[in-house]
Amino acid sequence: MIDYKQSKAPKTTITRDLNELTEKVGNVYETVAIIGKRSNQISAALKKELDAKLQDFSVPQDSIEETFENKEQIEISRSYEKLPKATLIATQELINDELIYRSSNKDEVLK
């Protein structure tokens, strides 16, 4: 599993050169689709990891009004909020040639 906490992706959105991003794929729409699909994968993985960590703090409650604040739970949530967005991580992976994908037009694997 990739450690997204060690990602060198920027934490805020920055302007990218569209020509540079599409060089490897050759098509703007495919590039966006690839980044979007990878972003969804990253987002799902982060959500699964966060849910697993927060499951330890889960206490069955009879009513919604009984809300307990746990400092450890809040710290875990904040650490995930500080991570770069999944789209920024996926874009950085594409730029760094860390992303492997298959082109829909060809049978070969592109990198």
DSSP string covering 42-88:
HHHHHHHHHHHHHHTT----S-TT-----HHHHHHHHHHHTSPPHHH
- The 10s digit of each residue's pLDDT in 30-89 is 999 999 999 999 999 999 988 888 887 766 665 555 555 678 888 888 888 888 889 999
Among candidate residues 75, 20, 68, the one with its CA nearest the CA of residue 53:
75
Backbone angles phi, psi at 17, to 5 degrees: -80, 115
- Does residue 1 carry a pLDDT above 70? no
Query: Residue 57: how many CA atoms within 13 Å on its side-chain side?
Result: 15
Mean pLDDT of 26-30: 90
Mean pLDDT of 86-100: 89
Contact 7, 95 (CB under 8 A): no
- Does residue 28 carry a pLDDT above 70? yes
Mean pLDDT of 92-102: 87
